Amino acid sequence: MPSRADTQVRPYATFPHHPIHPFSHSPPRADTQVRPYALTLPCGKPLRVYPPFSHSPPGRTPRSAPTPPSPPLHLFTSSPIHPSPPHLQQVAILISRALRHQPLPRPKHTVEEQKQPSEVITLLSSRELEKMRKACQLAAQLLDYLTPYVKPGVSTLELNDLAEAWTQKHGAISAPLGYAGTVMPFPKSICTSINEVICHGIPNAEDVLRDGDIINIDVTPILDGYHGDTSRTFLVGDASPVARRLVEVTEECMWRGIQTVKPGARVGDIGAAIQAYAEAEGYSVVRDFVGHGVHRIFHAAPQIPHYGQRGKGKKLRPGMVFTIEPMINIGSHEAEILVDGWTAITVDRQLSAQFEHTVAVTKEGVEVLTLSPAKVVA
Ligand code: MF3
Ligand code: CO
Ligand code: CO
């Protein structure tokens, strides 16, 4: 995999200060069967839409198509005279599913964050760092709490609802819920990304975990105004050696990135360490999504690419707090976004895994704020 460390980072729009149209990048590889449809949304926005994904790595039985919505969108329904091609009907289903989520009032935290995007890197005081510690410990505990439920037969909606109830019980707010996006606000409280879903999968009653799946669960509770952002990839039941290896290497990538963090190191050191290991293991590093500063603001400066060159990029200073959250693919690093505006999937539908910690740069080196207090193993 040739390094593209010198190309510009093109993160997806969860980073509001770099608005990138989610459908404008990553054409599918010519050798895949995936063909987009060019559509125009009622608002005039052009869309390149990809057929629905199966949630299944090659060789496994595809997941069933989503159940048809009711009522269906007349714009895309088939008529006996002009039947829509099957893929377009699937697109209609996806759009309907997206629209079925009621528009959410945007919670204050998302509005404020996106009003004043800033390139300025905040250095946290020890009082602020203490609040981050608490939010981040809550985030880690939330993942610990969810761990025993991650079993074949559970739906991602059930995981979402457990997470939301737990978060409320602990006096916190789920940052993803209502977080502004390009097509719609994020409609649920956590991200659940199965198999070929790279990140930002939306919990759904129809997405029921099956033996052999891998699933990343990404949580971000806000406690006393501060965000704790962490994710782990879980093996569901009896995962294949191929899936296991990917998940192991991805976690190790995160740790290798974290180990480079200390005052005076550069942002590029983090990505270089991750990229070197991932590519040596034959995997690719997702470019379109990056780590980010995190504190009172969910997605703040600096961006933390998971690829790059040692010695390049901003210098790390005590008080900086950011995430390291590599997404590692078995095949192509390229991502596509589903029509819901959120779900990012691999262009070749091969597996993708991710781990995320929130870390603070300290005088001594690095403090991992989202370490599991119970040392729960997924
Ligand atoms: N927690 C994700 C991250 O690591 C962001 C999720 S934004 C959402 O940055 F809106 F999709 F929830
Ligand atoms: Co996250
Ligand atoms: Co994050």
pLDDT per residue as tens digits for the range 109-137: 555 555 555 789 999 999 999 999 999 99
- Atom of ligand 1 at shortest range from CA of 342: 11
> Which bound ligand lies closest to the C-alpha atom of 15?
1
Ligand 2 center to 220 CA (angstroms): 6
Ligand 1 center to 231 CA (angstroms): 10
Ligand 1 center to 364 CA (angstroms): 29
Ligand 1 center to 167 CA (angstroms): 16
Ligand 2 center to 238 CA (angstroms): 26
**Pocket flag, ligand 1, residue 179 (CB < 6 Å):** yes
**Pocket flag, ligand 1, residue 229 (CB < 6 Å):** yes
**Pocket flag, ligand 1, residue 357 (CB < 6 Å):** no
**Pocket flag, ligand 1, residue 176 (CB < 6 Å):** yes
Ligand 3 center to 199 CA (angstroms): 10
**Pocket flag, ligand 1, residue 48 (CB < 6 Å):** no
Ligand 1 center to 77 CA (angstroms): 32
Predicted pLDDT at 286:
97
CA distances in angstroms from 235 to 121, 135, 211, 327, 348, listed in the order given: 36, 26, 9, 16, 21
**Pocket flag, ligand 1, residue 370 (CB < 6 Å):** no
> Which bound ligand lies closest to the C-alpha atom of 293?
3
67: which residues sit within 8 A by CB, 6+ positions away? 206
Residue ID of nearest Cα to ligand 1 atom 3: 229
Closest CA to 191 of 354, 12, 376, 22: 354
CA pair distance 6, 305, nearest whole angstrom: 11
Closest CA to 39 of 31, 50, 28: 50
- Give the DSSP H or E segment for 197: strand 197-199
Looking at the domain that runs over 37-368, which CATH code has it been given? 3.90.230.10
CA pair distance 372, 375, nearest whole angstrom: 5
- Atom of ligand 1 at shortest range from CA of 188: 12
Residues 40-76 pLDDT 10s:
554 555 555 544 433 344 444 334 333 333 333 333 3
Predicted pLDDT at 64:
37
- Atom of ligand 1 at shortest range from CA of 323: 4
Residue ID of nearest Cα to ligand 1 atom 10: 176
Residue ID of nearest Cα to ligand 1 atom 7: 176
- Atom of ligand 1 at shortest range from CA of 185: 10
Bridge-based pairing state of the strands 284-285 and 226-227: unpaired
Please give all residues whose CB falls under 5 A of ion ligand 2, grouped by chain where several chains appear: 218, 229, 231, 356
CA distances in angstroms from 222 to 116, 157, 252, 297, 299, listed in the order given: 19, 20, 27, 10, 13
- Atom of ligand 1 at shortest range from CA of 181: 10
173: which residues sit within 8 A by CB, 6+ positions away? 107, 109, 167, 221, 222
Residue ID of nearest Cα to ligand 1 atom 6: 176
Predicted pLDDT at 39:
55
**Pocket flag, ligand 1, residue 113 (CB < 6 Å):** no
Ligand 1 pocket mutation pick from 184, 199, 295, 369 by most atoms within 8 angstroms of CB: 199
Closest CA to 206 of 340, 346, 97: 97
Contact 321, 129 (CB under 8 A): yes
**Pocket flag, ligand 1, residue 340 (CB < 6 Å):** no
**Rounded average pLDDT per 10-residue block, the chain, 378 residues:** 32 27 32 48 52 40 38 40 54 54 50 64 98 98 98 98 98 96 92 97 96 98 98 97 98 98 98 98 97 96 97 98 98 93 94 98 97 66
Ligand 2 center to 6 CA (angstroms): 25
